[in-house]
Amino acid sequence: MVRLASRLLMFAVACLVAGHVYAEDGYDLWLRYRAPVGATATHRAVPRIDARSRSPSIIAAADELRRGVAGLSAAQQAALGTIVVATAGDPRVRALDLRVAPLGDEGYLVRTVTLGGARVTLVTANSDQGALYGSFALLRHAYAGGDLRAVSLSSAPHVRLRILDHWDNLDGSVERGYAGQSLWEWWTLPDYRDPRYTDYARANASIGINGVVLNNVNSSADSLTARYITKAAALADVFRPYGIRVYLSARFSAPIELGGLASADPLDPRVAAWWRAKTDEIYRAIPDFGGFLVKANSEGQPGPRDYHRTHAEGANMLAAAVRPHGGVVMWRAFVYADTDPDDRAKQAYTEFKPLDGRFADNVIVQVKNGAIDFQPREPFHPLFGAMPRTALMPEFQITKEYLGQATHLAYLGPLFAETLGADTMAQGPGSTVARIIDGSLYPHGLTGIAGVANVGRDRDWSGSTFNQANWYAFGRLAWDPTLDPRAIAREWAAMTFAPAVADRIAAMMMPSREAVVDYMTPLGLAHLMATGHHYGPGPWVSDLKRPEWNPVYYHRADRNGIGFDRTASGSNAVAQYAAPLARRLSDPATTPTDELLWFQHLRWDHAMPSGRTLWAELVHHYDAGVAQVDVMRQQWNALRSQIDAERWAKTATFLDIQAREAAWWRDASIAYWSSINRMPLPAGTRPPAHDLRWYEAQRFPHAPGNPQ
Amino acid sequence: MVRLASRLLMFAVACLVAGHVYAEDGYDLWLRYRAPVGATATHRAVPRIDARSRSPSIIAAADELRRGVAGLSAAQQAALGTIVVATAGDPRVRALDLRVAPLGDEGYLVRTVTLGGARVTLVTANSDQGALYGSFALLRHAYAGGDLRAVSLSSAPHVRLRILDHWDNLDGSVERGYAGQSLWEWWTLPDYRDPRYTDYARANASIGINGVVLNNVNSSADSLTARYITKAAALADVFRPYGIRVYLSARFSAPIELGGLASADPLDPRVAAWWRAKTDEIYRAIPDFGGFLVKANSEGQPGPRDYHRTHAEGANMLAAAVRPHGGVVMWRAFVYADTDPDDRAKQAYTEFKPLDGRFADNVIVQVKNGAIDFQPREPFHPLFGAMPRTALMPEFQITKEYLGQATHLAYLGPLFAETLGADTMAQGPGSTVARIIDGSLYPHGLTGIAGVANVGRDRDWSGSTFNQANWYAFGRLAWDPTLDPRAIAREWAAMTFAPAVADRIAAMMMPSREAVVDYMTPLGLAHLMATGHHYGPGPWVSDLKRPEWNPVYYHRADRNGIGFDRTASGSNAVAQYAAPLARRLSDPATTPTDELLWFQHLRWDHAMPSGRTLWAELVHHYDAGVAQVDVMRQQWNALRSQIDAERWAKTATFLDIQAREAAWWRDASIAYWSSINRMPLPAGTRPPAHDLRWYEAQRFPHAPGNPQ
């Protein structure tokens, strides 16, 4: 025993000494699997994992359970007993006569049962992939502090395609990526398969993500060459056991660039034949290839409109190519024409609404959550509810292009939930976006949800610990759009830090996105970011080529008032919403305050429900946003003793940066509005630290994450 | 005891379980500090570190010793006893009457001594920094398996400036970097100080590096703005305890770009005043700022020649600005003019030789190891030995721009040592490059050596485990240019893997660079790389704008022969060497075979010492290079059971890539030469796998590491 103890001590010392053994550098994400500090108790043997299938997904599930259960306390381990992982076809499971039909292809059931006379924890499902999801659900339950003596968990995903869109370029850069280079080391693929690819797949599977678009929607045709297909196939091989399919962004003009054709006209049989052959080639390398994502005729990308064809004609041509293989086409509705002087917020609807019912049934139209572009807050996109005969999937941005990038703490769970819970009124009250995209309002076989990934090669994947929560929350809401973002935050915090701090961390996270809205673009303002990067304010910018690229296009501030009139007296964008909603949004009195200036142009002295003038209300919101960041700093400071030093310090530093930049946003914005309305600052307002000229002169030529 | 054992077991299990506790991902470099597998023995308390000084460097030394000693076996720990870290001024050390004068400012002495009646291991030096170097030397000695009962180590560096040049851009890209983005996260500096910066400093200090140029020689003037000076100062703060000074590459035209001046003429008093003010500003932020590195009038960079001033006039103007602060200017001699039709290999000498004696004494001219550009093999640069009145520092490339980038295994110790040991004959036999640059042949107060860094944000720092050895070897040879590269390889392998495999790994490394020479550019050939990247062969390339950018410029192959005639009948570059050497290099019979075609144009049927024709000899070398890669694969396969799985697999995969690419180089080259000489392949030669057209058609548009 002494010798054993001595050896263990040696090992323990070696563990502690070896540089980053306990380096909490964030790499482990929410799969940390560490017992809370102080949770020792008497040790017992790690519970047995009984997983007899040799399917790769079941092996992955058993590996994960071994890894995860070993980090639980002895009491937790005892409560679990043996963990049996078996699909519903297993005779032992069949004998239990469980209700597995509602689980569908991907759902799971985890339950404490008696099997062969012993009390065990059973993880079951109709598929291996479901069993993998169930294993992660059990670990989530355990690490969030759930009771393990009588487990009863069951869930099935509400939507079929739960996708991460990577805006990763072949040169390793990531458009709007703030966490380092692309995870994909294209140069050493397919030979070298970085163990990190597997950890990426584990993280995704743990939250139910089942598809990954590898390359940027602003895509290079090279992604479709034989050389890159082989590389993509290697990633698909790594991801397959985790139930993750690979998709590719397709450049619509590839038949010209790669095929030497004179045209990419979707109705040209040679073009269709080229895509069929290319698709067949991809499926030979990747038999479970998911399909294509296409950004067409948008921001300079080629598309069917170049040949006077509709988006539907373009999408359907590609859909025909992938159909024999069971693939899908995700076609983006993010379009605005450089020739159309109409309100940019209206253009996607104008172009796509007439195409309702014209898309093949393996096409799903991917619609951004709002009608502009991933702003801190946007009203839900009017296409939701407006295309009953078309499968629609929302596209969220997990990467915080407009919400403070890597450094600002902004938990996006409330943003995602706000859109998903928005009532389109399309079929009367209760016609939420969630019910449209899960196929329950208008039945569609194809359902989906996409998020622009926020992961890169930074050690902590997402550039900051709290950005990991946005990846997590996206996955959880993609699985079940009705989940409560606060519960998700608690769950994430418990796994990422410890159950003891979960409530306090969730409390810190919940108001964080609203704080960003407040100090950047309060009261429905939008798109006021600087030129060339989105790190700071640029409400004064008016010199960009296209009108709708300029912040002044969006805020329309002048001596008398501010806001974009989208009522009947203005662009009448409100008419794109269901009639009762359109009516509500036409009247300042019934428009939600937080969307007010999105829909109305109002006088600076407009009386707000608070009793303040609009001008005073604006300033009040800026101040509230800045103040909330200070609250977060205090909350984080109070957590210092309960968080490991490395992650605590990084977040503390980032909160300092956020406080400085929040003040920058507030001060620059107030300085600018003052110069426009020439009104005195509301009484008691702290004047901006610098004059407007100073803010206008700020330049950041090497800001990360911008397109090359 | 049972409870203790149980707790330790819990901890040990947690260690093993926690994902990457024992993940051998290469992050630890040669500072792994792990006991060889199986080395347990009875445990005893970790030796006491007695370091009373509170100087940051001594604290760093003590921390490192604690970290390192804990990983040693119990027997080793017992042999060491207490480790006393104290400078020579400490009364206890003074009482020992050791010979510390020869240690100078940075040297160290580590010795087993009796202090206060107890046998201890003493680490001493004349400075805190020396004591830090001594601590690393002790750990190196221990982990290379050295005897710890009677330690006696002493060394002082041969050169003063031991510098890493980072070719890192402000946008995070690294020119010719093959290990991911820049380590420096400029955006979050100065606020966030990634713990990795400290680990970088530790690694450098462990091998004696004492200076770091943060930014690319193709530099942006933005690096000199107040904003970036603050960021550089934050890095300097992190590096300072490790004895590392920060330097900046200076863009010569910065007075125009930042200062709004009309000119950057070094003799214009306004220009000199601008640089003085800028330099003062830098020193206010970084009191121990090292100075400037300048690439002027080279490959499009601005410089004094734009104003008809000499390089000396340009350098001296900057030198005057840094002189009051004790700074230096490192001025690169890498110049070749787009207007000069003369042999590119001659141009730096032609331009700089007349300036000998004209440089201020705080200027050091930085000369690439060879006259062209970091080729797999080049004869030493003729400027070495030709500028007795000028301080010269060699510039090596650690990053393998021309030697297989991240994936090929090529240990550069022999390359560095080959240049350092080359005999210039400048003052008769024995006038080695090492003796020129260490100031012993021509006395100079300022001595130095620079290497273009191969580190980036990849987890393993250098893109591959074996590339770490090049960083290590550079540092060791910069400290002492007379070290044996095989001994360095053994030392590195013992620390990086284990002493038991050190000899076998060193045996694998030693011929690796020659293998690259053989399969890429044998017999003195050079600069035959493809266009736009240097991953593959392009001997046929002849369409680039400037003649000396084209491979055909360098090999001069035609129907009759191959090679660049640099004798009197050709460019007469040989005349730039000392007369006895020039004579030797003028005659094929006395020119070293491995430099033959660098100096001579010879007939394809020229009879080689081996008895083969030149053509057969060429093919023989290509085959030898390819065969050596196969030998390395076999050697690595045989080591499988003794290397951790993760690092073994990565290197094995990279060796597979290298084998494939070595064959590509060989086959493409042979196909091309055959097309030129129209000779049959030498008997028994395996024909190329494809025809020449196939090789010419290869395109790699997204190859990493290229300038943006």
Our answer to whether residue B299 is catalytic in this structure is: yes
CA distance B106 to B156: 6
Distances (CA, A) of B28 to A452, A660, B243, B497, B504: 33, 35, 20, 11, 21
Lowest pLDDT segment from A263-267, A589-593, B340-344, B664-668? B340-344
pLDDT at A499 over 50: yes
**Structural tokens at position B696:** 């010419």
For an interface test with B, which of A42, A181, A223 has the most B Cβ atoms less than 10 Å from its Cβ? Answer: A181
What is the average pLDDT across B556-584?
A: 98
Give the dihedral sign, CA B235/B239/B244/B245: positive
Buried b (16+ CB within 10 A) or exposed e, A249-285: bbbbbbbbbbbebeebbbebeebbebbbebbeebbeb
Residue of chain A minimizing CA distance to B227: A700
- φ/ψ of residue B109, rounded to 5: -140, 125
- pLDDT of res. B18: 40
Taken as a whole, chain B contains a residue count of 708
CA-nearest of A482, A391, A485 to A437 is A391
Which residue in this structure is represented by tokens 């390089």? B311
CA-nearest of B348, B401, B351, B339 to B372 is B348
- Residues of A forming the active site: 299, 373, 401
Parallel/antiparallel/unpaired status of strands A561-562 and A602-603? antiparallel
Using CB atoms, pick whichever of A17, A191, A708 lies closest to residue B653: A191
The residues, ordered by sequence, that sit 6+ positions from A211 with a Cβ below 8 Å of its Cβ are A161, A162, A163, A164, A244, A245, A246, A247, A290
* DSSP per-residue codes, B485-508: HHHHHHHHHHHHT-HHHHHHHHHH
Whether A40 and B70 lie within 8 Å, measured CB to CB: no
Using CB atoms, pick whichever of A21, A42, A653 lies closest to residue B191: A653
- pLDDT of res. A269: 98
Tens-digit pLDDT profile for residues B362-392: 999 999 999 999 999 999 999 999 999 999 9
Tens-digit pLDDT profile for residues B460-513: 999 999 999 999 999 999 999 999 999 999 999 999 999 999 999 999 999 999
Q: Which residue has the higher pLDDT, A6 or B86?
A: B86
pLDDT at B2 over 80: no
* DSSP per-residue codes, B268-314: SHHHHHHHHHHHHHHHHH-TT--EEEE--SSTT---GGGGT--HHHH
Q: What share of chain A in percent tops pLDDT 70?
A: 95
Whether A67 and B188 lie within 8 Å, measured CB to CB: no
CB A573 within 8 A of CB A382: yes
> Exposed/middle/buried for A387, CB within 10 Å: 0-12, 13-18, 19+?
buried
Parallel/antiparallel/unpaired status of strands B211-213 and B161-165? parallel
* DSSP per-residue codes, B113-141: EEETTEEEEEEE-SSHHHHHHHHHHHHHH
Whether B646 and A195 lie within 8 Å, measured CB to CB: yes
Whether A40 and B7 lie within 8 Å, measured CB to CB: yes
Using CB atoms, pick whichever of A1, A191, A650 lies closest to residue B656: A191
User: How many C-beta neighbours within 10 Å does residue A181 have?
Assistant: 24
What is the average pLDDT across A284-292?
A: 98
CA distance B315 to B122: 44
- φ/ψ of residue B570, rounded to 5: -120, -130
CA distance B302 to B426: 33
Instruction: Please give the biggest Cα pair distance in chain B.
Output: 86
CA distance A706 to A174: 8
Could you give the 3-state DSSP secondary structure of residue B423?
strand
- pLDDT of res. A698: 94
CA distance B200 to A51: 44
Residue of chain B minimizing CA distance to A459: B459
The residues, ordered by sequence, that sit 6+ positions from A197 with a Cβ below 8 Å of its Cβ are A183, A235, A238, A239
The DSSP element (H or E) to which A393 belongs, if any, is strand A392-397
Tens-digit pLDDT profile for residues A98-122: 999 999 999 999 999 999 899 999 9
User: What ipTM does this complex have?
Assistant: 0.94
pLDDT at A251 over 80: yes
Whether B657 and A191 lie within 8 Å, measured CB to CB: yes
- pLDDT of res. B202: 98
What is the average pLDDT across B602-624?
A: 98
Residue of chain B minimizing CA distance to A172: B704
Per-residue pLDDT band for B526 (boundaries 50, 70, 90) equals very high
Could you give the 3-state DSSP secondary structure of residue B164?
strand
Parallel/antiparallel/unpaired status of strands B561-562 and B363-368? unpaired
Q: At what angle do helices A269-285 and A226-239 cross, to 10 degrees?
A: 40
Tell me the nearest-neighbour CA distance from A386 into chain B, angstroms. Answer: 42
Q: Which residues of A touch B656 (CB under 8 A)?
A: 191
- pLDDT of res. A7: 52
Could you give the 3-state DSSP secondary structure of residue A648?
helix
Tens-digit pLDDT profile for residues A27-61: 999 999 986 555 554 445 567 999 999 999 999 99
pLDDT at A3 over 80: no
- pLDDT of res. B533: 87
Which residue in this structure is represented by tokens 């992604």? A223
Tell me the nearest-neighbour CA distance from A279 into chain B, angstroms. Answer: 23
- pLDDT of res. A705: 83
Angle (CA) A438 A444 A446, round 5°: 75
Using CB atoms, pick whichever of B1, B18, B407 lies closest to residue A1: B1
What is the average pLDDT across A204-218?
A: 98
List the beta bridge partners of residue A147.
Answer: none
CA distance A602 to A608: 11
- pLDDT of res. B1: 52
Size of interface A-B (CB pairs under 8 A): 175
Tens-digit pLDDT profile for residues B247-268: 999 999 999 999 999 999 999 9
- The 3 state secondary structure assigned to B361-416 is CCEEEEEECCCCCCCCCCCCCCCCCCCCCCCEEEEEECCCCCCCCCCCCCCCHHHH
CA-nearest of A370, A272, A402 to A599 is A370
CA-nearest of A308, A143, A291 to A211 is A291
For an interface test with B, which of A1, A6, A186 has the most B Cβ atoms less than 10 Å from its Cβ? Answer: A6
Which residue in this structure is represented by tokens 């940027």? A216
What is the average pLDDT across B221-228?
A: 98
What is the average pLDDT across B317-329?
A: 98
- pLDDT of res. A337: 79
Buried b (16+ CB within 10 A) or exposed e, B395-428: bbbbbbbbbbbbbbbbbbbbbbbbbbbbbbbbee
CA-nearest of B18, B76, B644, B62 to A12 is B18
- pLDDT of res. A45: 58
CA distance B401 to B234: 30
Using CB atoms, pick whichever of A9, A31, A71 lies closest to residue B43: A9
Strands, E assignment, B636-704: none
Our answer to whether residue B480 is catalytic in this structure is: no
pLDDT, mean over chain B: 94
Quick check: bond before A190 cis, omega within 30?
Answer: yes
CA-nearest of B628, A666, A34, B363 to B352 is B363
**Structural tokens at position A656:** 């300092």
pLDDT, mean over chain A: 94
Residue of chain B minimizing CA distance to A170: B702
Buried b (16+ CB within 10 A) or exposed e, A544-557: eeeebbbbbbbbeb
Per-residue pLDDT band for B283 (boundaries 50, 70, 90) equals very high
- pLDDT of res. B47: 76
The DSSP element (H or E) to which A365 belongs, if any, is strand A363-368
- pLDDT of res. A17: 41
pLDDT at B514 over 80: yes
For A614: left if phi > 0, alpha if psi spans -120 to 50, otherwise beta; the answer is: alpha
Per-residue pLDDT band for B338 (boundaries 50, 70, 90) equals confident
**Structural tokens at position A302:** 């080629």
Distance from chain centroid for Cα B207: 12
pLDDT at A272 over 80: yes
CA distance B512 to A634: 57
Tens-digit pLDDT profile for residues A429-471: 999 999 999 999 999 999 999 999 999 999 999 999 999 999 9
pLDDT at B189 over 50: yes
What is the average pLDDT across B291-303?
A: 96
What Rg do the C-alpha atoms of chain A give, in angstroms? 26
CA distance B491 to A386: 70
- pLDDT of res. A59: 98
- pLDDT of res. B13: 45
pLDDT at A20 over 90: no
- pLDDT of res. B355: 98
pLDDT at B6 over 60: no
Per-residue pLDDT band for A21 (boundaries 50, 70, 90) equals very low
Tens-digit pLDDT profile for residues B160-182: 999 999 999 999 999 999 999 99
Per-residue pLDDT band for A16 (boundaries 50, 70, 90) equals very low
